[in-house]
A and B are shown apart, each in its own frame.
Chain A
Amino acid sequence: MGDGGTTYSGVNPNAVWLNSRGIWLSYVIAVTILHLVLLSIPFLNVAQAWTLTNVVHNIGNYIFLHMLKGTPWETNWDQGKSRLLTHWEQIDFGEQFTTTRKFLFLAPVILFILASFYTKYDPLHFIINLSTMLLVLIPKLPQLHGVRIFGINKY
């Protein structure tokens, strides 16, 4: 069917929908639209717009991939195993180093590089961009699969 995200009976769609046809392009377009919206706000200069894009993207990334657990539809098929897993941990059924995971790992890095360039490597912007990038990259490391520091977000 040309769609890597075919959800056959009894499989968690959260694990496969990011492999579907056209999703990466949609992701890039969504970030571009966000950036254009921020650029059009009159009192922000270019550097602030880029940093804001980076920060908003990373916060959204963190919330949807690493904070929210479970699935927005009932998981009758796996007896609640995916209730305790964040979306990142559910992708591709927990298999590491798949192409989707690499794409989602690279997106904040590329945004960071672009933001650093357009803010002319200003120290304050650098610190903000770097810290949000680390916030969103560290949970994606395979060593942190299923790890809940200090029990935050465990249940």
Chain B
Amino acid sequence: MSKDSFEPAPRVVVFLTYLGYGILMLFGYFRDFLRKSGVETTHSAIERKNMKDFVPLYQSFESFYKRNIYMRLRDCLNRPICSVPSAEFDISERVSDDGNWHLRLTGKTRRCVNLGSYNYLGFAENKGPCADAAAEALQQYGAGVCSTRQELGNYKIHEELEETTARFLGVEDAVTFGMGFATNSMNIPALMGGKGCLILSDELNHASLVLGARLCSTVIKVFKHNDIEDVERKLREAIINGQPRRQRAWRKILIIVEGIYSMEGSIIKLPDFIRLKKKYGAYLYLDEAHSVGALGETGRGVTEYWGVDPRDVDIMMGTFTKSFGAAGGYIAGSKRLINHLRAYSHSTTYACSMSAPVAQQVISSMKIIMGEDGTNRGQLRIKQLAANSKYFRQRLVEMGFMVYGNDDSPIVPLLMYMVPKIAAFSREMYEQNVGVVVVGYPATPLTETRARFCLSAAHTREMLDKVLDDISDVGDRLQLKYSLNSPVKAVSAEECYSQVDSLEHKA
């Protein structure tokens, strides 16, 4: 198993990042002064003149970041896409006349390589067996469901989907929901409602997990990212001290972690967490949104990656959005747990169930991955993804970029630190017809802005080579090659792709 790597930034880079923020802030104040004195037009919402003596509705200082920093790089975000997001896609071009406050479409599109979509196994296709099966399901069931699971929205295809998911993961039963975010935020309250519970949550957990934890009336403690000693320390403190103010024992303790963290590309140290959970009697909630289908020899996720029995994880959660090319999420575990969720989850009670063609897409893609369609296309996709991830990451590290995360993860964050560089990188790559996702604050810490590449089984090696040349070129121009580690000549490309080539010859 590879280790996660988080090389700290050189001090010069950190200083320059803060200096950049300082300069941006000073110019922000200057521009605000110009806007207030009328020299520059104000585009944001302002108070009406006759409401002057009322309590102000808009805190102009609170939108300082948005006005002066976010607006200037807004053209790199929310790009409209007008094709299926497979290995290549079409982006609609936009221009702005007033500094990104208003963007308008020009009508032209640009065909770009897709390095941002969560398309790990390449199932985002509009042709092929999955799309045909989904079209048939559309003919049979229609697009909408028109009811909740507990009323009249429980179709045969939903039961087939749940049975397939449970078989895929190797657990007793599963329940599925129409929306991945809502799977977390609506089901954690169903599990941890009631007083006297404790949630231990990783500091880099996704917003859906944070929201779900907040919606229960539990005490939430945050532990350092992937740090087993910190979890153990907090567990021991909690168990020894008991509940605050009452000093009674906790009713239950839940540790919420993710399989692959989407901003870091790090993989959770699952065997350690299972050992801890068994030792102290806590429960483990594993959010495999990015790792199911993407890790493991046969794509079963992070439990197969570590060789752990999936029944050791109490609650396995995942989404169908990333590796299966559909939408929605599931929770899998023991039959008792799933029966409880079927009755008590907010989603099954109030939210409409998954649309039938989407459910069929998941079923067909899962069958392909498991090999139940009689071919080895699923295995080929898994091996292609693994080879692509390893190759791409190693080439980036060789070039001297600062890359976080685990060697085996298909998410490759490239650190850029300074805010203007993310805008420059995104625009330069767009000129070279590569679509990348750049993230800054608030999705990442203030000084660790990055570009996040998501590899896919649909990428061919030629595409990746071309993209890597572009990245290297842009990286030289923008001086992004910060890594101080000596360039390590790792596994060669031929070795990365050897398994893929041997499988292709067998197919």
When the two chains form their complex, are residues A30 and B22 in contact, meaning their CB atoms are under 8 A apart?
yes
6 residue pairs A–B, Cβ–Cβ below 8 Å: A1-B448, A2-B6, A7-B446, A8-B210, A20-B447, A22-B14
Q: Which one of B64, B204, B222 contacts A73 once the chains associate, using CB atoms below 8 Å?
A: B64
Residues of A within 8 Å of B101, CB to CB, are none
Which listed residue, B19, B66, B447, touches A3 by the CB 8 Å rule?
B447
Residue B225 at the chain A interface, CB threshold 8 Å? yes
User: Would you call A2 and B8 a contact (CB within 8 A)?
Assistant: yes
- Set A13, A20, A30, A72: member contacting B61, Cβ < 8 A: A72
Q: Cβ of A1 and Cβ of B14 under 8 Å apart?
A: no
- Alpha-carbon separation in the docked complex, A106 to B313 (Å): 50
Closest to A72 in B: B64
Q: Do residues A7 and B445 form an inter-chain contact, with CB atoms below 8 A?
A: yes
**Cβ A26 vs Cβ B225 within 8 A:** no
Chain B residue numbers with a CB within 8 Å of A69 are 61
Q: How many residues of A contact B (CB 8 A)?
A: 28
Q: Which of A3, A23, A26, A83 contacts B445 (CB 8 A)?
A: A3
**CB pair B19 A26 closer than 8 Å:** yes
Given the known inter-chain contacts A6-B445, A8-B222, please indicate yes or no for A22 contacting B66, CB distance below 8 A: no
Residues of A within 8 A of B19 (CB): 26, 30
- Report how far A83 CA is from B64 CA in the complex, Å: 13
B8 to chain A: closest CB distance in Å?
4
Using Cβ atoms and an 8 Å threshold, which residues of chain A touch B107?
none
Q: How far is the CA of A30 from the CA of B26 in the complex (A)?
A: 14
6 nearest A-B residue pairs (beta carbon)? A22-B14, A72-B64, A2-B8, A8-B203, A73-B65, A9-B210
Instruction: Give chain A interface residues in 1-59, CB to chain B under 8 Å.
Output: 1-3, 5-10, 13, 17, 20-23, 25-26, 29-30
- Report which B residues bind A (CB closer than 8 A): 6, 8-9, 11, 14-15, 18-19, 22, 25, 59, 61-66, 203-207, 210, 214, 222, 225, 264, 441-442, 445-448
The answer on a CB contact under 8 Å between A6 and B203 is yes
Complex-state Cα separation, A5 to B25, whole angstroms: 19
- B205's partner among A8, A23, A71 (CB-CB below 8 A) is A8
Q: How far is the CA of A71 from the CA of B59 in the complex (A)?
A: 10
- Per DSSP, chain B at the interface is loop
A74 proximal to B (CB < 8 A): yes
Give the docked Cα–Cα distance between A75 and B138 (Å): 43
Whether A71 and B62, one on each chain, are in contact in the complex, defined by CB atoms closer than 8 angstroms, is yes
A132 to B210, CA, bound (A): 44
Contact B225 A5 (CB under 8 A): no
A9 B447 Cβ-Cβ under 8 A:
no
**In whole angstroms, how far apart are the Cα atoms of A15 and B448 in the complex?**
17
Known: A2-B8, A6-B203, A70-B59. 16 other contacts (CB 8 A): A1-B448, A2-B6, A3-B448, A6-B445, A8-B205, A8-B222, A9-B207, A9-B210, A20-B447, A22-B11, A22-B14, A30-B22, A68-B61, A73-B66, A74-B62, A74-B63
With both chains docked as a complex, state the minimum distance between the C-beta of A64 and any C-beta of chain B, in angstroms.
9
A68, B333: Cα distance in complex, Å: 51
- B14's nearest neighbour on chain A, judged by CB, is A22
Q: A5-B447, A21-B8 are in contact. Are A13 and B203 (CB under 8 A)?
A: no
Say yes or no: A21-B14 contact (C-beta < 8 A), given A3-B448, A6-B203, A73-B442.
Answer: yes
CB within 8 A of B441: which of A13, A21, A83?
A13
CA distance A70 to B58 in the complex (A): 13
Q: How far is the CB of A115 from chain B (nearest CB, A)?
A: 23
Given contact pairs A20-B446, A25-B11, A74 touches B66 in the complex (Cβ within 8 A): yes
User: Chain B's nearest CB lies how many Å from the CB of A149?
Assistant: 22
Most chain B beta-carbon neighbours within 10 Å: one of A25, A26, A69, A75: A26
**Bound: A23/B447 CA distance, A:** 11
User: Which chain A positions have C-beta within 8 A of B63?
Assistant: 74
- How distant is B235 from chain A, measured CB to nearest CB, in Å? 19
Query: What chain A residues lie within 8 Å of B210 (beta carbons)?
Result: 8-10
| B9, B25, B445: most-surrounded residue (chain A CB, <10 A) | B445
User: When the two chains form their complex, are residues A75 and B62 in contact, meaning their CB atoms are under 8 A apart?
Assistant: yes
Residues of chain A lying within 8 A (CB to CB) of residue B448: 1, 3
Chain A proximity of B47: nearest CB distance (Å): 15
A22 adjacent to B15 (CB under 8 Å): yes
Closest CB of chain B to A26's CB: distance in Å? 4
* Complex contact A72–B65 (CB within 8 A): yes
